[in-house]
Amino acid sequence: MKKVDPHTAVTATSASAGATEVRDSTRQGYLPVALRHRPLHPAPPLTAIPPGGTFAHRRTRSRGVGVHGYASSTEQYLTRLRRIEGQVRGLQRMVSEGEYCIDILTQVAAVQSAIDSVALGLVQDHLGHCVVQAAKESDEAGAAKVAEATQAIARLVKC
């Protein structure tokens, strides 16, 4: 029977005759129990997880525009997204600590509002830069960008 002391990271094995073998965690090849079944190399980062819950793949088609519309506001968007990430971590903490349901729902509404604000800013930047640039190139390119923006907005307002 194996016994693991989580405070000292020493594993002791008891045989039926009462003998005990102790393995120190400093030995080569030793992994704590929690890490034994983890892959040695971390998985590559995911690009995005869409509302359906499956992983999105990066698009390979050309956008026709060299710089994204939000390029001048990248740091502002990243700051807002980091703040949202902190709010979501706070939600996780609230749930794990058993906070009052209404307090959690209030914070969920705040996170949704913050995400909506980021999305609205991205739509404005896309319309003001990407769609305008495409319309300057040709009527067909402009129409394609308007259709693409319309589909994106439809996904945002879908409940």
Structure tokens, 35: 């890490």
Does residue 124 have a pLDDT over 70? yes
When the pLDDT of each residue in the chain is averaged and rounded to a whole number, the result is: 74
Grade residue 60 by pLDDT with cuts at 50, 70 and 90: very low
pLDDT of residue 114: 96
Grade residue 47 by pLDDT with cuts at 50, 70 and 90: low
Grade residue 45 by pLDDT with cuts at 50, 70 and 90: low
pLDDT of residue 71: 72
pLDDT of residue 51: 56
Starting at the edge strand found earlier in the chain, the sheet holding 20-23 runs: 2-5, 10-14, 20-23
Grade residue 138 by pLDDT with cuts at 50, 70 and 90: very high
Q: Label the pairing between strands 2-5 and 10-14.
A: antiparallel
What value does the mean pLDDT take over residues 4-21?
48
Does residue 63 have a pLDDT over 70? no
- The domains found in the chain, sorted by start residue, are 2-35 (no CATH), 71-157 (1.20.58.1000)
Cα gap 9→103, rounded to integer Å: 40
Cα gap 80→70, rounded to integer Å: 13
Q: Side chain identity at 117, as an amino acid letter?
A: S
The segment with the largest mean pLDDT, out of 8-17, 60-69, 91-100, 147-156, is 91-100
Tens-digit pLDDT profile for residues 69-105: 677 788 999 999 999 999 999 999 999 999 999 999 9
- Whether 4 and 11 have beta carbons less than 8 Å apart is answered as yes
